[in-house]
Chains A and B, each alone.
Chain A
Amino acid sequence: MEFLFASDEWQVLLDNLPNLPFATWESFYATAISTILAMVVGLPLGVLLVAGEKDGVLPLPGWLMTLLNAVINLLRSVPFLILMIAVLPLSMVVLGTSIGTPASIIPLFIASFPFVSRLVETSLREVDGGVIEAAQSMGATPLQIIIKVMIPESLPSLIANATIAMTTILGYSAMAGIIGGGGLGQIAINYGYYRYKYLIMVVATVLLVIMVQIFQSIGTWLAVRCDKRLRK
């Protein structure tokens, strides 16, 4: 704990105080955009994982389902640190740069959409099969069942899982500091890890913790609020 009493620790912190709000914003922005992109791709994939099964509402060819599962599992099993470095060339091609917050969004998205697909899959599986059967008995099309039954009925769970995704992606975004991804993660790594300035690292980490707390509280509140099963 003696670092707390070292004057240069405090000096680094004071010098960087003006950067912290912007770094916090960068972390938030990278996380939010990545989460949204991951949901945009992960939601339809999650729907396919459930609806495309043999006895699902929209059965797909078995080979396609096997392929889809294999690709998702493959992407899920690559450690984020390695994935991040592996997609650097892709960032160069798409954005013309491989550093900075926008460039960090690409690996964050690639790492998180398979994860989000699995979360969506889990949420949709919670929908009571009887309700889907009832919709079928009323002459619903597969698309109507997906849009009007499966997604709305699992909305509270989808929101809860989106919150999990967002907090996980925030953690990843901090890791993206290693490749110059900006944000609080980069401050923590640059000062704390490379230059042994622990105080600012602790402050940056505390800010990340506070962000997770806020995301989680909002997510839980929303999930509970929109769940009509809890109305009494």
Chain B
Amino acid sequence: MIELQHLTKRFATKAGTLVALQDISLTIQDGDIFGIIGMSGAGKSTLVRCINMLEKPDEGSVIVNGRKMETLDARGLREARREIAMIFQQFNLLMQRNCLKNVCFPMELAGVPKDKAEARARELLELVGLPDKAESYPAQLSGGQKQRVAIARALATDPKVLLCDEATSALDPNTTHAILQLIQNINKELGITVVIITHQMSVVEQVCQNVAILDAGKVVEQGSVAEIFSNPKTPAARRLVFPAGAPQGELPAGHRLVRVAFNGTQTTDKPLVASLAIECGALVSIVAADTRIVNGQTLGSMLLALPDNADEAEKAIAYIRTYPGLTYEEVQA
């Protein structure tokens, strides 16, 4: 379990003190794939670096598997770090070593005998799908292959936690998908807790179970992915969930507007707007909509304009209220 308690981190800059993280408290359960998402400059990378103390927080506590990280001495910290592997946006492989030697590197640091390390490294390269690249050098690999080698390297010391710092941000969408799938498999098969830092909503969508949204150094929203995606409450969360702008529109006055949020319903069986028309005769119009399928569930929200007729509008609201898996709110036009 990873617990962050009241973390605060400040940087002294020429323009004054910059508060990168402000009173952040998070709990990440064992076996979770936890996403931390935010815009550039929100403090994501600083936050993930506090977990393994690459950045020392100014205040607060980081507890990883019962170890209070900020109180460890240099030696204790090195030992703790072997259980917390990390992968990076730029892969950070040793360019002068071949893939096998790269995967051996953390074991070499830990004093694992060379033949044992190499055997393990070959297994890991197999696991990440690159058994034939052991003798290749990083410069000969594609971005996706480099990240696979980095993942194999990260797994070499049998970590309990894998920190991914924008690990797919330098990859194309197909490669991103494949790398995320690999991370998901590793999480399932090896039971490693994964923390994913990203600015891409699609990454969180594909693999994360829980998510925290970071904005200007603060956690503004956290919860299960389905929860946050179906009904983002804060402006920062809305910006991320609806990158093209949250569904809202302008309509002549007189219409009542309702925002409907899907929480992963069987909307595929029974389309809401069509049902409204057929079953209660309410002709609503869609002002704006942004829905998506995540893990086979429909998430997102729609802004509906209710009919002019007050009775029909009431009937529509009553229908929406009883519709399974929806939340709704009336909004002012």
A, B in one complex:
yes
- Interfacial residues, chain A to chain B (CB-CB below 8 A): 128, 130-131, 133-141, 144, 148-149, 152-153, 155-156, 226-232
A136: chain B residues within 8 A (beta carbon): 54, 81
Q: How far is the CA of A199 from the CA of B78 in the complex (A)?
A: 66
Q: Which of B94-102, B196-204, B210-218, B269-277 faces chain A?
A: B94-102
- A232–B139 alpha-carbon span in the complex (Å): 7
**Chain A residues within an 8 Å CB radius of B85:** 137-138
A156 to B110, CA, bound (A): 27
| Cβ-based interface call for B265 (8 A) | no
CA of A128 to CA of B89, assembled, Å:
13
Chief secondary structure at chain B's binding surface: mixed
Q: Which residues of B contact A (CB under 8 A)?
A: 52, 54, 77-82, 84-86, 88, 90, 92-98, 105-106, 108-110, 137-140, 157, 163
Contact (Cβ within 8 A) A137 B105: no
B108 contacts A148, CB within 8 Å? yes
- B52 contacts across to A, CB distance below 8 A: 137
Compute how far the CA of A140 lies from the CA of B52 in the bound complex, rounded to whole angstroms: 13
- Cα distance A183–B81 when bound, in Å? 56
Report yes or no: B54 in contact with A138, Cβ–Cβ below 8 A. Answer: no
A–B pairs, 5, beta carbons within 8 Å: A137-B86, A141-B109, A148-B105, A228-B96, A231-B139
B96/A130 in contact, CB under 8 A: no
Question: How far, in Å, is B208 (CB) from chain A's closest CB?
Answer: 21
Q: Are A139 and B108 in contact (CB under 8 A)?
A: no
* Cβ-defined contact, A139 with B139, below 8 A: no
Whether A134 pairs with B88 at a CB distance below 8 angstroms is yes
Choose from A141, A156, A228 the contact partner of B97 (Cβ within 8 Å). Answer: A228
- Whether B95 lies near A139 (C-beta < 8 A) is no
Closest to A131 in B: B92
Q: Given A130, A141, A149, A227, which contacts B90 in the complex, CB threshold below 8 Å? A: A130
Cβ-neighbour of A139 out of B109, B138, B163 (below 8 A)? B109
Task: For the A-B complex with A128-B90, A153-B96 known, give 9 more contacts whose Cβ atoms are closer than 8 Å.
Answer: A134-B86, A137-B52, A137-B54, A137-B81, A138-B81, A138-B157, A139-B157, A155-B96, A231-B140
Cβ contact within 8 Å between B109 and A229: no
**Contact yes or no, B92 A152, CB < 8 A:** no
A228 touches B109 (CB 8 A): no
In the complex, the answer to whether A144 meets B109 with C-beta atoms within 8 Å is yes
- Bound form: Cα–Cα A148–B97 in Å: 10
Which of A131, A140, A149, A229 has a CB less than 8 Å from the CB of B139? A229
B81, A228: Cβ atoms under 8 Å?
no
CB distance from A165 to the nearest CB of B (A): 21
A133 touches B54 (CB 8 A): yes
Q: Tell me whether A148 and B137 are in contact in the complex, defined as CB-CB below 8 angstroms, given that A133-B54, A134-B86, A136-B54 are known contacts.
A: no
By a CB distance below 8 angstroms, the chain B residues around A153 are 94-96
Q: Report the minimum CB–CB distance from A17 to chain B (whole Å).
A: 46
Q: How far is the CA of A156 from the CA of B54 in the complex (A)?
A: 28
Listed from nearest, the 9 A-B pairs whose CB atoms lie closest are A139-B78, A134-B92, A139-B81, A130-B92, A138-B106, A137-B86, A228-B137, A229-B139, A139-B82
Residues of chain A within 8 A (CB-CB) of B106 are 138-139
Contacts of A229 in B (CB 8 A): 95-96, 137, 139
Point out the residues of chain B lying under 8 angstroms from A134, CB to CB.
Answer: 86, 88, 92
Neighbour of B96 across the interface among A138, A140, A144, A152, CB < 8 A: A152
- Of all chain B residues, the one with the shortest Cβ separation from A149 is B94
Residues of B within 8 A of A130 (CB): 88, 90, 92
Q: A138 near B139 (CB under 8 angstroms)?
A: no
Instruction: Say yes or no: A133-B140 contact (C-beta < 8 A), given A138-B106, A139-B78, A140-B109.
Output: no
